[in-house]
Amino acid sequence: MTHAIRPSSGTNRPRSRSATEYGGAARGFAKRVTFAGIIWVAFASLCDAGKLTVIVVDRSGRAVAEVVATAAAVPPKASAPAAEVATARMDQHDLAFVPRVLVVAIGTKVEFPNSDSVSHQVYSFSPAKRFQLPLYKGALHPAVTFDKAGLVVLGCNIHDQMVGYIYVTDAPFFGKTDSQGALHLTTVPAGDYLVTLWSPFVADDPATLTRTVHVGERDPASTRVQLTRDLRARPEPRPRRTDWEY
Amino acid sequence: MRLCGAMVLVSAALWGPLAGAQDRLSVTGEVDVRWVYATGVPSYLDGGLGTLRFDPDHDGPRLGYALLASRLRITDILTLHVVADAYGDHDRNFVDLSEAFIEARPFPTHSIRWNARVGAFFMPVSLENRGPGWTDVYSITPSALNTWLGEEFRTIGAEVEARWLGASQGYLGDVALVGAVYGWNDPAGVLLAERGFALTDRPSTLFGGLGMPPTTFYHQVGRNPGYYSGLTWRHHDRLEIRALRYDNRADPSAETATAFAWRTRFSTVGARLEPTAAWTFIVQYLDGDTAVGPNSVIAEQFKMTYRTVFALTSFEWNRERFTARFDDFRTHQLNGFFGPPSNDLGHAWTLGWMHDLGHGWQLAAEWLRVTSRFPPRVEIGESAGLIESQTQVAVRYRFHLGV
């Protein structure tokens, strides 16, 4: 991928060692350590530049995980073509798509292995990608290329309760919020960005789920979005009842 | 058994070219053996008018059931389903079929997905009989309502379902409309009139019938095809509502040498709520009527109304499942009195416990008590009012084979 999403490096503050640890004889050494610390702090600040953090919380201020966030430059900038085709995986496990929500860049090849003991028939009739994977288990079918931006809703023709989502984006920076409700995008060049949020469980009007954020040359940028409507019920992992629904 | 033989031949013919394909043949087998302690009067399965499957003369170690449910995927969209079962209740055929049908389910190309079934199958109405062969996943014995639907009804015909897949429109759920046209179910209603409601895990099979002598239900007596139409709404994976209108449109004056046509109609509506993965609540209600005899002599035509409702709550925790259910049922005869009225009035309490032993093994225990009043029992020397109970402990083994 051209723009890999890496975990946040966090704030790397050097640990200043007290000169008293080494006794009075170590005063000169301590000065050198302090000087090195100042240099390191400056370096860390430079590293923070290009970092964009998106935080999503619900009406009560609790973190909301698994929300897709994309960041696109405003005005749009031409991005370099991808050096190699990215691949991603949408597994099927315990009659559910894993992950339930996958966000990929345009052009990504997505594999659909079936790790269940029963067969699945995966399909999508979403305008962004129509495809059908006839009855299979394991990794029978080749990866599917998602070449158009948009939301692709996945289903299984045998198990209607299986629903998955692939969010195909042309934005250069993207990811999903973690269990803390946060997404840390690194290597974001300075500039203005339109941050867009999406989740099948967020009921807020999509028009209210965008923010314009300025990423400075030196300072990390962040935006915190508090949802105004209750989340839709999120399907829980259900025990297998060996259903044979009629 | 000719149909049974034909199914075996079709399966064998399809098996060769499909061998080695991806999970084309899927077979689920389950065996249930149990220890039973019962109080009350002889069961209707043994010629009495008791409302339970077992009675004091037929308790102790028993076969609950043995079933083989197979699915053969003929093509990606065509599947043959066959369920063969054995119960050991003095049945005419020790092994019989309870379902055999072909299902067509094309890949959806837009938000409406079509599904069709042709053959013999259960109607899509129960919220508790979610297992193969009308088995209940919450306890051993289904409610009076679903016991009756498993006993006297099988769709022998064609069914079409149109399901709106909400996920594609941003809605976490779906809505389905279903309709069916069928025949060969004209005697449905006779058991309810002769016995009242019962609580058993003993659905009828296609060729064997129920009781002693066996009452059979799958005949075409008149010429009219029956229908049902229904609605299913699944909301957010937490709530499912099902409603269905059934009318076999039988001509109540029609009869053959072996069976009468019973005009049986009912409406049923039910809801299953699963607010969390652990809790399940189900309520289902059914209301209808049935009639037999010439329309020209209304006073002599047997006519009866009936209604039943149950409420179930179930809690699943790790390997345990605990279930409690209350049933209420009644029938009321309106016409055609030639003896005590077929006015059944009763209620039942069921407590169930299931323990998953792992590797396909399951332990199931159930206590069931039925209090009922049915005047025709007097004619066979029993009291009209009865309290019957049944305690069962079952060991089950389920296996799955896929080729």
A161: contact with B, CB 8 A cutoff = yes
In single-letter form, the type of residue at position B377 comes to R
The torsion angles phi and psi of B71, rounded to 5 degrees, stand at -130, 120
Which residues of chain B have a CB within 8 Å of the CB of A92? none
DSSP per-residue string spanning A34-74: HHHHHHHHHHHHHHHTT-EEEEEE-TTS-B--S-EEEEEES
Residues pairing with B114 in the sheet: B162
Q: What is the pLDDT of residues B159-186, one digit of tens each?
A: 999 999 998 888 888 999 999 999 999 9
DSSP reduced 3-state for A220: coil
Structure-token pair, residue A166: 């692939």
Contact B126, B142 (CB under 8 A): yes
Which residues of chain B have a CB within 8 Å of the CB of A135? 22-24, 73, 76
* Distance of residue B315 Cα from the nearest chain A Cα, in angstroms: 12
Do the bridges between strand B279-292 and strand B302-317 make them parallel or antiparallel, or are there none, so unpaired? antiparallel
Instruction: Say how far apart CA A15 and CA A33 lie, in whole Å.
Output: 10
Instruction: Say how far apart CA B215 and CA B90 lie, in whole Å.
Output: 13
pLDDT score, position B3:
44
Q: Do A200 and B170 touch (CB under 8 A)?
A: yes
Average pLDDT taken over every residue of chain A = 79
A241: contact with B, CB 8 A cutoff = yes
Structure-token pair, residue A31: 């000065």
Q: Do B130 and A245 touch (CB under 8 A)?
A: yes
Helix (H) or strand (E) holding A70: strand A68-73
Instruction: Say how far apart CA B253 and CA B270 lie, in whole Å.
Output: 33
In single-letter form, the type of residue at position B388 comes to E
Which pLDDT band, with edges at 50, 70 and 90, does A14 fall under?
very low
DSSP reduced 3-state for B168: helix
* Distance of residue B339 Cα from the nearest chain A Cα, in angstroms: 40
Candidates A134, A235, A239; nearest CB to B237: A235
Q: Do B22 and A123 touch (CB under 8 A)?
A: no
Q: What's the maximum distance between 2 C-alpha atoms anywhere in chain A?
A: 84
Structure-token pair, residue A175: 């990811």
Contact A27, A34 (CB under 8 A): no
pLDDT score, position B249:
95
Structure-token pair, residue A157: 């023709």
* Distance of residue A75 Cα from the nearest chain B Cα, in angstroms: 30
A240: contact with B, CB 8 A cutoff = no
Q: How many CB pairs under 8 A join A and B?
A: 92
Neighbours of A78 (CB within 10 A): 6
Q: Do A163 and B172 touch (CB under 8 A)?
A: yes
Which residues of chain A have a CB within 8 Å of the CB of B168? 125-126, 153, 155
Q: Do A137 and B23 touch (CB under 8 A)?
A: yes
Helix (H) or strand (E) holding B225: none
Candidates A118, A130, A243; nearest CB to B23: A118
Q: Do A140 and B105 touch (CB under 8 A)?
A: no
Nearest CA in chain B to A125: B109
* Domains present along chain A, CATH in parentheses: 19-48 (no CATH), 51-79+175-231 (2.60.40.1120), 84-171 (2.60.40.420)
Q: What is the dihedral of CA A201, A203, A204, A207, to 10 degrees?
A: 80
Which pLDDT band, with edges at 50, 70 and 90, does A239 fall under?
low
Preferred mutation among B149, B168, B244 to probe A, highest tally of A CBs within 10 A: B168
Q: Do A155 and B238 touch (CB under 8 A)?
A: no
Q: What is the dihedral of CA B261, B263, B267, B270, to 10 degrees?
A: -20
Which pLDDT band, with edges at 50, 70 and 90, does A82 fall under?
low
Candidates B22, B129, B174; nearest CB to A119: B22
Low-confidence stretches of chain B (pLDDT beneath 50):
1-21
Instruction: Say how far apart CA B215 and CA B193 lie, in whole Å.
Output: 12
Average pLDDT for residues A60-70, to the nearest whole number?
95
* Distance of residue B4 Cα from the nearest chain A Cα, in angstroms: 21
pLDDT score, position B61:
96
Nearest CA in chain B to A118: B23
pLDDT score, position A24:
41
DSSP reduced 3-state for B44: helix
Which pLDDT band, with edges at 50, 70 and 90, does A83 fall under?
low
Q: Do A160 and B163 touch (CB under 8 A)?
A: yes
Which residues of chain B have a CB within 8 Å of the CB of A155? 108, 165, 167-168
Nearest CA in chain B to A159: B105
Contact B94, B88 (CB under 8 A): yes
DSSP reduced 3-state for B27: strand
Q: Do A135 and B73 touch (CB under 8 A)?
A: yes
Cβ neighbours of residue A189 closer than 8 Å, sequence gap 6 or more: A50, A73, A215
* Distance of residue B246 Cα from the nearest chain A Cα, in angstroms: 16
With 0-12 / 13-18 / 19 or more C-beta atoms within 10 angstroms meaning exposed / middle / buried, residue A218 is exposed
CATH hierarchy code of domain B29-63+111-402: 2.40.160.10
pLDDT score, position A47:
44
Q: What is the dihedral of CA A30, A34, A39, A40, to 10 degrees?
A: 90
Q: Do A241 and B130 touch (CB under 8 A)?
A: yes
Which residues of chain B have a CB within 8 Å of the CB of A141? none
Instruction: Say how far apart CA B353 and CA B139 lie, in whole Å.
Output: 7
Q: What is the pLDDT of residues A178-215, one digit of tens each?
A: 999 999 998 899 899 999 999 999 999 999 999 999 99
Which pLDDT band, with edges at 50, 70 and 90, does A1 fall under?
very low
Average pLDDT for residues A104-123, to the nearest whole number?
93
Q: Do B237 and A233 touch (CB under 8 A)?
A: yes
Preferred mutation among A100, A124, A160, A205 to probe B, highest tally of B CBs within 10 A: A160
Instruction: Say how far apart CA B317 and CA A120 lie, in whole Å.
Output: 28
Structure-token pair, residue B100: 């055999």
pLDDT score, position A80:
60
